[in-house]
Amino acid sequence: MTFTQRYVALGDSFTEGVGDWDPASPNGVRGWADRVAEQLILADPSWGYANLAIRGRKMRQILDEQVDAALLLEPTLVTIYAGANDILRPRIDIDRLMGHYDEGVGRLREAGVDVVLFTGFDASGSAVFGKTRGRTAVYNEWVREIADTRAATVVDYWRLREFQDWGYWDVDRMHMSAAGHTLMAARVLEAMQASHRIDLPELGERPALRRMEQLRADAQWAREYLTPWVGRRLRGVSSGDTLTPKYPTPTHPRRVTTSA
């Protein structure tokens, strides 16, 4: 099928869709980018969708591996979120890193591609990841400056305060849940000034835990998620090392195809 408009999603686990688990989708995840593509295609079937994002990728990997591959697909629209995995590293030269990001976004814009960028999430509510809040704030100012200079659209994740509700997060406390990805898809489309028919999720009440219950829950989370995550970084491996892009060439995602 020939597509006259092509949306290509670039990035890491955020864009791949980790946390929005779906065994019937490629790599076992759906995600906000799939949902954005579905809405674009439902409004206009001439859209094709590719998703080159792979969990665990750092910025230079995304720029080196995904930008060139995206340009070969002659995209109309690219969403890109890169740098979150770099910010979590013990050491980072964020100014140098963001200089590379600016160059990558510049290449996309010079090719005539509409680009959507993201600021980083305000993790002040996390005892572990909240320690990177200062780095993320610097990253965000860079993103906003790049967007101004390159005439890109920004989804300001930092200011989307509804995501402070833990109901929008997966049990790993690192990735958005299906509800979070659904809400993010709506916010991305709104930033693009595109219409959508996404039903926003309604979160149920989360029971308050007693102190000992919370401590047990935190200990279980550390054993099941935090310790393996730290261990992979110490070993220099990633959960995405054996994965390939879920939609490497423009297509209609599974749910659109099934619905049709």
Indicate the pTM of the whole model: 0.90
Q: What percent of the chain has pLDDT over 90?
A: 72
CB 38 within 8 A of CB 258: no
Average pLDDT over residues 167-173: 88
Other beta carbons within 10 angstroms of residue 79's beta carbon come to 27
Distance in Å from the first CA to the final CA of the chain: 14
Furthest-apart CA atoms within the chain: distance in Å: 58
Distances (CA, A) of 2 to 71, 250, 255: 17, 9, 19
CB 81 within 8 A of CB 66: no
The full 3-state SS of the chain, as one line of letters, equals CCCCEEEEEEECHHHHCCCCECCCCHHHECCHHHHHHHHHHHHCCCEEEEECCCCCCCHHHHHHHHHHHHHHCCCCEEEEECCHHHHCCCCCCHHHHHHHHHHHHHHHHHCCCEEEEECCCCCCCCCCHHHHHHHHHHHHHHHHHHHHHHCCEEECHHHCHHHHCHHHECCCCCCECHHHHHHHHHHHHHHCCCCCCCCCCCCCCCCCCCHHHHHHHHHHHHHHHHHHHHHHHHHCCCCCCCCCCCEEEEECCHHHHHHC
Give the tokens for residue 49: 């969708």
Of 161 and 217, the structure prediction assigns the larger pLDDT to 161
Q: Specify the residue for token string 């997966």.
A: 170
Distance between CA atoms of 240 and 209, rounded to whole angstroms?
34
Of 127 and 28, the structure prediction assigns the larger pLDDT to 28
Residue 165 in this model has a pLDDT that exceeds 70: yes
Residue-range definition of the domain harbouring residue 247: 5-201+210-259
Residue 69 in this model has a pLDDT that exceeds 70: yes
CB 26 within 8 A of CB 173: no
Any idea what the CATH number is for the domain that residue 133 is in? 3.40.50.1110
Write out pLDDT tens, residues 101-136. Answer: 999 999 999 999 999 999 999 988 776 677 889 999
Cα 13 from chain centre? 6
Distance between CA atoms of 120 and 233, rounded to whole angstroms?
20
Q: What is the pLDDT of residue 209?
A: 62
Distance between CA atoms of 172 and 86, rounded to whole angstroms?
19
Distance between CA atoms of 229 and 225, rounded to whole angstroms?
6
Residue 208 in this model has a pLDDT that exceeds 90: no
Residue 234 in this model has a pLDDT that exceeds 80: no
Number of independent structural domains in the chain: 1
Q: Specify the residue for token string 């994002």.
A: 53
Give the tokens for residue 7: 């949306």
Q: Specify the residue for token string 């704030």.
A: 137
